[in-house]
Amino acid sequence: MPDPAASNFIAWAPVVSAVASAVSACVAAFAANRAHRSSDAARRSIVLARQAQSGATLSRCMDVYSKIEDDLLEKKITGKRYFERLWGLQFGQYHLFKLGLIPQEVYAAWLMARHRAYHARPPGTIVDMTQADGWTHAKAIIDDPEFGRFVDCWLLDASMTKGKLQGKVHELLSRVNPAA
């Protein structure tokens, strides 16, 4: 005669297996949900850290720019040195932007300000150099053809508008980060 306990076990085996599978699926779903929450928290932390770093970067860039302008006004530097430092700052900002540490709108606004200064009427001189001579001098010292081409494409175009310049900045960002 068959053992009734064995028979009950065999009868319940599919149910036990289904319950075990369901419990396993629930545990896996719970673990995935916790992992997802953890990854969301990690993403938020990364975003907040990047924003803090971006804020510090912007503040530092503005401090450096103010120092360059103050030194010029106080006649501590020549026009040649002014343009070396000004375009050196722009070169640094270009690379910081490409790294994602300067927001696109801020970078475009800074470039538009530089464009307006370059095309000011009447063409002004900064101490002993014009804007055009200053850029030519600084470009030779910086000696980065990619940066030179990027600046020339918006700086030398007298008809450049804010919208067109934002498009150029977006193109640069798209080349650096195709997902942008």
How far from 166 is each of 33, 36, 58, 134, CA to CA, in Å? 40, 36, 18, 24
Instruction: Read off the pTM.
Output: 0.69
Q: What is the per-residue DSSP string for 117-173?
A: HHT-SS--EETTEEHHHHHHHHHHHH--HHHHHHHHHHHS-TT--HHHHHHHHHHHH
pLDDT digits (tens, 9 = 90+) for 87-139: 999 999 999 999 888 998 999 999 999 999 999 876 667 778 889 999 999 99
Name the domain count of the chain: 1
Range of the domain at 153: 4-176
- Tens of pLDDT, residues 137-170: 999 999 999 999 999 999 999 999 999 999 988 8
